[in-house]
Structure 1
Amino acid sequence: MSTAAPRTAGPDHLWSVDEHLDDILTTVRPLEPIELHLLDAQGCVLVEDVTVPVSLPPFDNSSMDGYAVRVADVAGASEEYPAALEVVGDVAAGQADLIHVGPGQAARIMTGAPLPPGAETVVPVEWTDGGLGGGPATGMRARSLAPEGAAGQVRVHRAAPAGAHVRTRGSDVKAGDRALTAGTVLGPPQISLLAAIGRGTVRVRPRPRVVVLSTGSELVQPGEELSPGQIYDSNSFALTAAARDAGAIAYRVGAVTDDAATLRDTIEDQLVRADLMVTTGGVSVGAYDVVKEALSSVADEDEPGSGIDFRRLAMQPGKPQGFGSIGPDHTPLLALPGNPVSSYVSFELFVRPAIRTLMGLTDVHRPRTTATLTADRPLTSPKGRRQFLRGRYADGAVTPVGGAGSHLVAALARANALIVVPEDVEALEPGTTAEVVLLG
């Protein structure tokens, strides 16, 4: 949640991209840690180091189906001169009472079973006759023809050094080792490790809950029939997907009509499940830009600093922006422009870092690099504006995709990077070096 109030400035102030982003990241605070069961913690960030309570594996065990033997008893064994050993019993995975392997003896052992006392190594069943008294056995044939628990004799046709096919105690991690460090994002491998060392729960910062809603009476749910003057609502789908990609639990509300009261009621209803709210559309200067009207009355008069500040940024696309907090819990809200490219670029620059900050991550930004610009003509940019153009990055080069229009969704779908044109640059020439924001 946010604990600091966002900055405000005069209505004529033109905010830079860095000023706006800095205001967001200064205001938004990481969510409070909670204890979660392992599967519920997937995608969350650890808030404490995790120490291994028990070594992995906790005991010496076999990595193969075969026979546990003493090294001296199979030294020099070959196809021509096999070592004949007495089979004294079986050792299965999970078995607690272990037989002892003495000189001239062998114990049939299964994968994962503890190495019995006296045994020093394991010979795979494929290196033996499977206890059948004949030639070398092969895999399933040996196991299927040798009855479980049957005693008798096994012939070993190959020598094995000490510790062969044995997973020794603590060979993965030892008791007292640090398994995971605070700040780790828990993915499937990390959850596997936590389970393997016996942790049923873990203390993490939860994934933030992000509510996305779009505004506009012209918007129609995909799958429905369009009437004249209507378009499909793509922004709420794009931003919800982007929020999930950033690590959030995202809820898509969908399109709200251009009515301030309806929008205000919808926002207030959604606050109960939001750590962050994102709106798209209605932040410009048009007659039907209802987000400003609706949010102006959501601010809590008894809570200093609540409310939304609507701003103009020195960037293209995405000049109109809104940021602040609403509701009793000071839930952060970012109001993005309604053009599809403008809203997506704004999300990547401002909303994604806010989500990552709520998660407690230290690296909240998309990676950046430099690339050689490959284009047919110079890329022009308005003076004093930082422009973000869609591009395709590969092998150190970036190529513009589509034009500068903020409605070009098809071009955005082909892009995997944003080409950054600084405020003091009015044209980027082909062959020059450009800064690139990598998307995905």
Structure 2
Amino acid sequence: MTAIELFPTMRRIGARLSPLNPGRRGSRMSQDELDSTDAAAKVPPLRPRIDIAMRHPTPETQERVMHRDRGMHLARQEAWDRLSHEIRAAEAKRELTSGGTPVAALLSRGARHDAVKAARDAILVGDIAGGFDALIALHDDLREGCPGDHAVKHVVAAAYLDLAQICAGGQSLGKLSPNLRKTHDRALETAYQLVDRFDPFANDSPLWAAVRCGVLPADPAPEQRVADDYEDVIELDPGCPGHLRAMGRDLLPARFGSYGLLDQQARRVVGQTSDVWGTGAYSIVMAGATEMDPGVLNHIDSDLFAEGVYEILTRFPSPHYANIFAAFTGLIVPSTGIDTPVTRQIIGCFDWIIADYLTELHPILWAEARRPGTAPRRDGDPIRRGRNRAEQAISQRIGSFLHEGESIVFTASGMRISKD
């Protein structure tokens, strides 16, 4: 059964837009094509043919900044008791931003911001030992003032994980200098030692369950723990999509799993989270894994993936999720160059996502999308890049099926084709 048969909403545009040009399905986009602001010249003029409101900053971005800044403020005031209270309260309510980011995690991120920034700045100028010393100072301060407070101690453990990532810099650990590798390993080991002091279930703390997943690289046998550790954090906080995406990445063969285990756990977690996501957890896990490894597309159940995306967008009909899955199906998957019935069906989801659920453009989400396995771009104007990528994806997929004088217009009730 194809996705067009599964969902009645897709039939509405199917007659007008099908059959889509098969030459465009799965056609490989180079990284230059993804990133170049001149890429729009490869398709018919985008304006006035595409009319969509652009929103930046988005509600999700604003909420993240607000909660992070709150944590930063409390730390600078040394109001650790108040910070602990607010982190605990946010965890107890499983409070999330509109895009699904845990508020407690944002408070913790803000609280450690200054120490982590000092560590990063030291490492950037070659003072690797000074980078670690910045976190020791934070650790010593909180050891005396809050010896058994699991909420405040999370700030310390997460800071050490941040330092390990700073040292790695997105590179293979084997490519690090001896000093960087030593500091990376020391930071990771310190966080690992802190993990055993706080039980996530006894403290009802998804934050600590997530740290347990974060220190998997320091475990002697991470392959034996990865599935159980992620089941724990998802059980404690099933509404957070970040845990599902992280699980997908850590279950890849290059990390601590295999394609078989990835599929098994993605299906298993559907039952664990059905009250929140329906079958959507499968789609989130697989999207997270695909963004790191395009080989996942050779093992994905495209019917279940399409059904999951549909359930997410009907349960959470927000522009945030619509933009995420539009970018995945319309940009990320086509960029892999993998042309199979599975990828065609996944790319086909782009049509009904933009027709029925895309009401405004969130350019940062499109700017952050990249070919699986490549590093994100940090230069240039991400807003312009994100908008160009989105408009090109829409134009390439639908533009050639417009009649003369028609344009694509996105409104609060969905996409429509307008006669100029």
TM-score by length of 1: 0.20
Structure with greater strand percent: 1
Larger radius of gyration: 1
Structure with greater helix percent: 2
Higher relative contact order (CA 8 A, sep 6+): 2
TM-score by length of 2: 0.21
